[in-house]
Amino acid sequence: MARIVVVTPNPAIDVTYTVAAQSIGETHRVETVEQRPGGKGVNVARVLALLGHEPVALLPLGGAAGSWMSDAIARLGLDLIAFPIAGETRTTVAVVDPEHHPTLFAEAGPELSPDEVAALRERIRAACVDAELLVVSGSLPPGVSADEVGGWVAAAHSEGALALVDAGGRALRAAAVAGADILKPNEAELLEATGAADVASGIAALVELGANTVVVSRGANGLVAVDPTGARFEVAAIPRVDGNPTGAGDAATAGVASAFLDGLAMPDLLRRAAALGAAAVLRPVAGEIDLDAYRRFVSTDHGASQ
């Protein structure tokens, strides 16, 4: 199977605190603590591994938190390229009580120095030597400009690897300008990055910038794609799937990458992405999928249309 390099530019330890009730300005006894390696690229790599691909997760990691991440990713059985940085890997804290949506506290992450940014691009290039595909998924840490994502796409291309970018904002536009082979934003990211009023105009804006294939995940509204010929494809979401949507977009990204490498036609690619998104919703934890459900979903025609 093809080797895939999956970059998580700004990984985080995802900590979940369970409390009996929340009250601002008060002291809370934390009843349970869960801690897992987080970051969209980490989720993508996990799903790719479950699909039988050989992903290698490439992450800037630093400090004691970075060591923990490194160990935790090894325990998941994922290949890891730990890119050492001076700063401390960030944490995100989610506080969960029986009444509210989780309260999230997201750290910005460690700032990379200019030397680290340059060395990271070179490390990504070197990792692409034996790879067929570079996947970049997630937000950027302080110190890394959006344009740098274009540099990563160019680095992949210079080694003969394809590039898929799942990002928002200026990073998405920079990836388009650099000619990324696939862009895979979600709908909100697409509209925000392009300033477009609807998905079709947003995709057109990215194509205008230089994008090739664009795949947009739309949650319960399925996926939309435009290929380099300008043909438009659409697939509905798998109906009646209830659960935790966190990580569904990352599973869909893994599906797009996987189908792209397997040479599937666009309707089949979208079906795989939709089935994986739904199979991720069935699992309480981001980065996991219900494999049996995935196989069931993907073998049923839910009406991809051109």
- Please give the positions annotated as active site: 250
CA 83-89-90 angle, 5° bins: 145
Among 104, 129, 220, 265, binds a second copy (CB under 8 A): 104
244 binds a second copy (CB under 8 A): no
User: What angle do the packed helices 266-281 and 291-299 form, to 10 degrees?
Assistant: 140
| Closest separation in Å from C-beta 100 to a second copy | 4
299 binds a second copy (CB under 8 A): no
Reported as half-sphere exposure (CB side, CA atoms, 13 A), residue 37 has a value of 28
**Residues facing 60 on adjacent strands:** 83
Among 57, 58, 78, 93, binds a second copy (CB under 8 A): 93
| Closest separation in Å from C-beta 186 to a second copy | 16
106 binds a second copy (CB under 8 A): yes
75 binds a second copy (CB under 8 A): no
23 binds a second copy (CB under 8 A): yes
| Closest separation in Å from C-beta 73 to a second copy | 13
Q: What is the 3-state secondary structure (H, E, C) of 200-221?
A: HHHHHHHHHHCCCEEEEECHHH
Residue 88 structure tokens: 């401390």
Computed over its alpha carbons, how large is the radius of gyration of the chain? 19
Closest to 135 (Cα-Cα) out of 8, 278, 306, 301:
8
Interface pattern 28-67 for a second copy (x via CB under 8 A): xxxx-x-x---------------------------xxx-x
Residues that bind a second copy (CB under 8 A): 15, 17, 19, 22-31, 33, 35, 63-65, 67-68, 71, 88, 90-91, 93, 95, 100-108
